[in-house]
Every structure is written in structure tokens, then in C-alpha cells.
């Protein structure tokens, strides 16, 4: 919730522990005790006094079924979802798939070229078919790495760094919306190092240290660099 508020205030934020996308309002699931994504959306909407249009981009290897369940059953309006996931692994939740605006079902072992190519194509479609968001919530799971026993995809460390940069650049240049990034799943020893490399890359490419040095940008600013 704090990271989401900071993103609206400063243009961006990164939360190291968020992205519990399997939990819903009714129950926890898959190591996720509560749906922090929807809780954050509801909190910032209450603080803003209006129904912000939110785009949830879920790049974790698993379907974000908890967020999708809450979108359908609470319901949560003006929440749009792009979900990339390995279609052959947990949670296999067909019931909530109607909540997904753009679903990208990946095969086990999918590698950088396939995933990044489809990401670029999907973001181009989203720019013309979905409402322009007031906020992007980006779930940047590293369980997409090759060798992850739960994600079963085949991305390289460099591919994950590039993936994150693609999403942030789209948020800045196309959607022109603030972004809050959560780290979600990642079950290999390599995940921490890849996350570090990606955040370092984002700081360099988007000049994020400037925002921290001046104590944050104005409330209507966007990440720049």
C-alpha cells in the first residue's frame, strides 16, 4: 500500500516483498496470505477520492488467480489485467480467466525471444485497446528463470533485466503512468542477483537516483531518464 501511494506521488516505487497474486479476499493460497495488489488499489483509490484506472501487468510464471478472483467477485472495477503465465503449472484456475483482459499462456521452457517478443506485441495491443491507466502495478516475478523448479520457464538473467526495462519504458513513454513494481515469486539462488541487476539497470536507464536525492518528484511527475 505504501509503495503504491509513493508511486502516485513520485512516479515510481519498488516493493521488495509484494506481489501476493494467488490470495483473494476469501482465502490465502500459494504462499500468499492476502491479496496485497487489490488491497493497495482500494487504499489509494480511497485516498485519491476517485476510482483510478489501474493496469496490473503480471509477469510472474504463475497465473495471478487471486487478483483475478477479486476483480470478478468483489468486484473491482476499472482494474485491467495482462497476465503472462506458464499454462501447465499451478494454479490452473480456469474459473477466473474471464477477468484477464489479455492472457498470454506460455509453454514450459519458453525462452527470452518468445517471451520478450510476445511482451512487446501485447503492450502494443494494450496501448490501443485498454483505457490509459492512472497507475500500473507490475508484478516482476523471477520464477521465469531457467532452472526455477516451480516456474518451469527458460528466461536468462539478461532476459529478465530486459523484460523489466521494456515494461518500465512502456509505462513512461506510452502509458505515461506511474509504476509500482513488486517482485513476487522466484525460487532459485540466482533470483536475488537477477533482481539486483535489474533494479540497478532501472536506476541507470531511468535516472531514478535523482528522485531519491531530491526527496521525490512532484505529485504529477513520471519516472524520467
Q: Show which residues are catalytic.
A: 22
Strand pairing report for 54-58 and 135-139 = parallel
Q: Which three cell numbers stand for residue 177?
A: 503512468
Residue appearing with cell numbers 489501474: 54
Pinpoint the alpha helices (H) of 11-156: 36-48, 65-73, 112-129
8 A C-beta contact, residue 142 and residue 159? no
- Residue 141: name the closest of 71, 64, 69, 205 by CA: 64
Integer Cα distance of 108 and 151 in angstroms:
8
Amino acid at each position: 500500500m505504501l509503495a503504491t501511494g509513493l508511486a502516485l506521488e513520485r512516479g515510481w516505487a519498488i516493493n521488495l516483498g509484494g506481489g501476493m497474486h494467488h490470495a483473494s479476499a476469501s482465502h490465502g493460497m500459494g504462499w500468499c496470505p492476502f491479496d496485497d495488489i487489490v488491497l493497495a488499489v482500494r487504499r489509494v483509490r480511497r485516498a485519491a477520492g476517485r476510482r483510478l484506472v489501474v493496469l496490473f501487468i503480471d509477469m510472474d510464471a504463475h497465473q495471478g488467480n487471486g487478483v483475478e478472483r477479486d476483480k470478478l467477485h468483489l468486484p473491482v472495477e476499472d482494474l485491467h489485467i495482462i497476465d503472462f503465465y506458464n499454462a501447465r503449472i499451478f494454479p490452473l484456475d480456469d474459473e477466473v480467466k474471464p477477468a484477464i483482459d489479455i492472457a498470454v499462456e506460455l509453454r514450459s521452457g519458453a525462452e527470452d525471444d518468445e517471451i520478450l517478443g510476445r511482451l512487446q506485441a501485447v503492450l502494443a495491443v494494450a496501448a490501443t485497446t485498454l483505457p490509459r491507466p492512472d497507475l500500473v502495478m507490475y508484478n516482476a516475478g523471477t520464477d521465469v528463470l531457467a532452472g526455477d523448479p516451480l516456474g518451469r520457464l527458460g528466461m536468462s538473467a539478461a532476459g529478465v533485466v530486459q523484460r523489466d526495462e521494456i515494461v518500465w519504458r512502456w509505462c513512461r513513454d506510452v502509458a505515461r503512468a506511474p509504476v509500482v513494481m513488486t517482485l513476487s515469486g522466484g525460487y532459485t539462488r540466482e533470483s536475488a542477483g537477477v533482481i539486483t541487476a535489474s533494479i540497478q539497470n532501472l536506476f541507470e536507464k531511468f535516472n531514478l537516483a535523482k528522485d531519491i536525492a531530491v526527496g521525490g518528484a512532484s505529485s504529477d511527475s513520471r519516472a524520467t531518464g
